[in-house]
Structure 1
Amino acid sequence: MATVTFKGNPITLLGTEVKVGEQAPNFTVLANDLSPVTLETYKGAVKLISVVPSVDTGVCDAQTRRFNEQAAGLENVKVLTVSVDLPFAQKRWCATAGLENAVTLSDHRDLSFGEAYGVVMKELRLLARAVFVIDSNDKVVYAEYVGEGTSHPDYEAAIEAVQAAQ
């Protein structure tokens, strides 16, 4: 498993770490309207999955904005932000941030995504910061588990992986 800290404190990650070259595991999360969303929902598209502890924090806000801005013009690419924030809070954040077209998905109900991708922070019941790029055939082509939960991911590497997967 990846070694992760949050504010310098070691964190236990629950679930299964995914690796480049593997088939992306399925999951069920909730859209802002409470409808279920799975990996199958985005079948045939390249998926950049940006995982954040909470969209209501500075680094998470910046990460969500940056990936949505950088990938906005890319064809056949879906940018998905996953957190355990309630769908209502995610919807409010998107409206306040002026990102009405951003796709935020909530894993609060049963941590399906978090366990499938090995990003559940046991001590906090939040998701660890991570980025996954999944190609149109649902193969993992990029996986970054950010070592310190309050640090930014490698934006450039993730966007390069998205472009290579197109």
Structure 2
Amino acid sequence: MGVLTALTVLTGCSTMPGAAPDPREQLAQRPTFEAAERGYLDLLAELKRILDERVPGLEWQSEGPAERSRGGCGEPFDRVDGAENANYSVGRGAMGAVPDAQWQPTVDALRVPLGEQGFTQVTVLQDEPGAHEVSIGDPHTGARVVFGTKVGTILTLYGACFLREDRG
């Protein structure tokens, strides 16, 4: 998962002091889309493993994580040829919920591998008895993982923007 670790040390480069970094130059410093995708899928597999250990009653709708959708990038990368982002999830989630008493310890356990990959910005989206959702983002790339539970449980990674190998 070293690919994602590289994402945490991104900086832009520019020939003019104070000028905004060129979007293509920024993306050229990142791993390729394909390498980042492998890292994202590995990270989601690790998060699923942690969930399975902590909440063994969850019934996942698929065995492992996969790409869910792919699209173009937002600003400032929206006009860079070959730039793409993708979202990944563990199927359509799991049947079953994380019990209230296990919610925060489970989030804390997930934050360890997430933090190692640069996902450090925690935003609580919902925190009520029987309904919890948190977003943990990478402030350097804009990628984020959303983990939530109510009747079912979701685990989705919204990826950052990267250049495809054939366009780098």
TM-score normalized by structure 2?
Answer: 0.25
The structure with higher relative contact order (CA 8 Å, sep 6+) is 1
TM-score normalized by structure 1?
Answer: 0.25
Larger Rg: 2
